[in-house]
Every structure is written in C-alpha cells, then in structure tokens.
Amino acid sequence: MQKIKDLFNKKKGDLTFKRAGPGYRLTDNNASQQQPTSSGVGRVLGTGQAQKTHQSQNPSQPKRQGGPDENVAKATLARFETKPNSTKATSANKSTLYDIMAEEKQKFEKELKMKEDMEAKRRLQQQQEQQQAKQMENPFKEFEDAQRFTCQTLDLTDPVPFKDILRQIKSSIYDNFTDDPVLRSAMILFNCNRSVDNGPSSNSSPNVQLQNCLDILLKIVSNLLLAENDEQLEKFKRVRRSKIEQKVLSLDGALDFMFAIGFTIDDKDCDWLVYADVDDDDGRKAKMTYLKDLISNPQIIHIELDRQVKLIDQSRPEEATNESESDVQVTSADVKGYYSNIERTRQIEEMLISKETKAKLLVSNSNLSNFRSVFTKLRFKFELAGEMQLIEAIFYSKETLADVQKWFIEHFGNALDGKCVQFKQGLSLLTNEQDTLETLKLSPASTLLAIVV
C-alpha cells in the first residue's frame, strides 16, 4: 500500500505548471489587446481550450472587434446566477401527461360509445328477426303434431304420428312388392309423398307436387310409347336429370321408378338418364302401355285420422273448460281475429286496386291469417239416457258439416232412434251441410249442441 502511495506522490512531483499569462476581466477593454502565450496552454487549459486558442490565432477565422460584447457577458452572468425553475418544468411535464391521459380517455370513451351503439343496433336487429320468425311460426303446429293416424288397409291399427304412419306404409310396401321393382317404386311414389296439410283429400287424389311429378312421368312414358321411328325413339330415350330434378327426382321413390322402368345414368354424361332396355317395338309399346295406365290411376292407400273420441266429465269444471284448448295455443280473441283477418283478406282481394296496394294491405294482417289449422277439435253436447253428455273428437278442418253428421250418426245413431241430427253453435243453427268446418268458423276448436229432429 505504501508503495502505491509513493508512486502517486512521485507522479505528482513530476507535474509542472506554467503561467499562461496575466488575467483580465470581461469588462476590461484592454483585454482584447493582450495576447496570451501559447506555451503550456494545452497542459493548463486542456485540449478543448487549446483548440479554441489555436482557432483564435488562425487568421482565417473571424475575429471580434472592439472588445467583448456586453450583451454576451450579461447573458452569461444571468445564466450562472439564475437557478433553473424546476417547479415550472415539473408543472409542464405534468400538464403534458394530463393531456395525454385526457386524450386517451376521450378515445376510450369514443370506442366504448361506438361499441354500445353497435350492441344496441344488434339487439334491435335481433328483436326484429325474432318478431319476423314469430310471424312465420305456425301457431297450430303443436296441435297438428299431436294428431294420430291409422291404416286399416295394411292392418296398422295402432295410432301413430303422420310421419310414422308413412314410414310404416313404406316398410309394408317393401315387404309386399319385393319381386316387382316397378310396382314397388310406384306405390312408394304414390303413398309416401303425402302431407298432413292435404287433409282428407290425400286419400282420394294426389297433392299438387305429386300430380306435377306424375304428369312429367306420364309424358316421358307416352313419348316412348308413341315414337314412330328410330330417330324419335333415340330423342325420347334421353332425359336430362337437371330438368326433372326438382319436380320429379326430389320425391321419394321417383328415381327408383325411373331405374325400374329401364332408365340408367349415361356413362359419358351423368346429367343424362338414358332408356337402356333393348325390347322390340311390340315389347316396348306393351310395357309403356302398362306404365301409362299405372301412372294415370295411382293406387293410394287410405289413411284414417284417429278421432281421439273422449267423454268429458262435466262434474270437473277444469276439465270441461280447459281440456279443449290444451293443444291449441291460441285464445278465443286470437280465433276471432283470425276469422276477421280472413274476411279482411277476402275483401282486399276483391278490391279494384293495384297489385302493389293489395300486397301492402295484405302484409298488415296478423300472423294467424297466414296459417289455417289443418284439424278442428269439436265438442258435442247432446242428451243421452236423460242426461247431458259432452263428447270430444278431432276432424279435418276441410271436412264438411255432412261428414260430421255422418260420423255422429255412425257412433251415436242408437240414441237417435233413426232420427236426423242438426247442430247449433251458440244461437246459430248450422244448416248448410256442404260448408267445411273452416268455412263455418269452427276451426280450430268449437263446441256444438246436437239437436235431434
């Protein structure tokens, strides 16, 4: 340690200092005339001051004339004597920070308001969509789904929903026509494309969609039957699938029927169906004659509506008043508005106005006017064995008053003693037997008083 101290002391002893020149004040006018010596300037003032001194001696640099500037001196003294205003700087920094925070807050509030506006628009749009969906919803769907059907022809006696009865009919057709693909596919086409909306008419004639399909198939078969030469036959042998896809091939059993009568998919272009049977003219005409007769007279299997007949216990008021409306999700006011809207729709249709005006007026009708119940639940009050009875049963809304009378006589004819029966709704006597239940405004649920005459 002592050696280190001695080393530093020796180094300090070797340093020599020389006087740079006489000192002077900044306010002294004679100071500019005194030229400091350059010897030892670099060692005393340092490298930076030596460079300044060297520049002052360089004749190429501009020189100040007339001594030091008083303004420069005053500014220098003021700079040394005045302390920095740290409070003002801090306040400025704070002000800047607050401005930034305020600006960010404004941005955040603006974005939040935009999100709230978008959310409000989304909720409004969702409410409008829900309202539109509610208007398009069938108010009688639950009532219609609750109905059951049977098929006595195929010995299907257990009441099941409409879709299930169609499935059972299709399975029975497969079992009974295994060896005859033409008749099997035709029976499926005739009987498995029905809708519950068609009502009792589906048991007697095809619906519109099925009838359109049968018309096209009948035209195809007739063309093959009436072809007079090979050129016409080759033309009628080819059927474009895309043209009959929607009206024919979309129905259950239609494509199988096309394959069964001799059509196949073209190997070169799958969009074409080609008649590939190689029968002679007599064989082809005999086959097409059979197919024409088969399509012209479709064999439709009868489906029966389960009436769900029940005796209402009038000693229980809640059963006698509420049971009839348990499946029908509409009130009496809704039914009244329903028929009012139907009448209004009829009046609008008969007006001598433009189609555009009619469309605008029809849009204003409520939801119930767009749907009509397929079924009607009727209750019959009548006297039996000296007591008033209340019977409930289900009917198609398209059934006539005569159909209801016929059913009533079949089930309760013994109590009528061979007499006829008429019905009253309230104080109104129903006399026109050809009117449907819908026309008589009995749908979807009503109570009738049976009068023996």
Nearest to 155, CA basis, from 298, 297, 301: 301
In a structure prediction context, what are the per-residue pLDDT tens digits for the chain, which is 453 residues long? 677 777 777 766 665 556 656 666 666 555 444 444 444 444 434 444 444 444 444 545 455 555 566 776 677 777 666 555 555 555 555 567 788 888 888 888 888 899 899 998 888 888 878 776 666 677 788 888 899 999 999 999 999 999 999 999 999 999 999 999 999 999 999 999 988 877 777 777 788 899 999 999 999 999 999 988 888 888 889 999 999 999 999 999 999 999 999 999 998 889 999 998 877 888 999 999 999 999 999 999 999 999 999 988 877 655 555 444 445 555 555 556 666 666 666 666 666 666 666 666 555 544 445 677 889 999 999 887 778 889 999 999 999 999 999 999 888 877 666 678 889 988 889 989 899 998 888 888 888 998 877
Q: Domain for residue 68, yes or no?
A: no
One domain, residues 171 and 268: yes
One domain, residues 108 and 173: no
Q: Domain for residue 141, yes or no?
A: no
Any idea what the CATH number is for the domain that residue 409 is in? 3.10.20.90
One domain, residues 294 and 399: no
Print the domain residue range for 109.
93-130
One domain, residues 238 and 290: yes
Q: Domain for residue 203, yes or no?
A: yes
CA distance 83 to 126: 68
CA distance 438 to 369: 13
φ, ψ (nearest 5 deg) of residue 451: -120, 125
One domain, residues 232 and 175: yes
Using a cut of 0.75, tell me whether the model's pTM lies above it: no
One domain, residues 344 and 365: yes
Any residues with CB less than 8 A from the CB of 320 and at least 6 apart, and which?
312, 313, 314, 390
Exposed / middle / buried, residue 18 (Cβ in 10 Å: 0-12, 13-18, 19+):
exposed
CA distance 226 to 239: 16
One domain, residues 154 and 292: yes
One domain, residues 98 and 235: no
Phi-psi region of 349 (alpha: psi -120 to 50; beta: other; left: phi over 0): alpha
Beta strand 445-452 with 375-384 is parallel
Count of domains observed in the chain: 4
Beta strand 445-452 with 421-425 is antiparallel
One domain, residues 186 and 202: yes
One domain, residues 319 and 285: no
Q: Domain for residue 243, yes or no?
A: yes
One domain, residues 182 and 211: yes
Q: Domain for residue 16, yes or no?
A: no
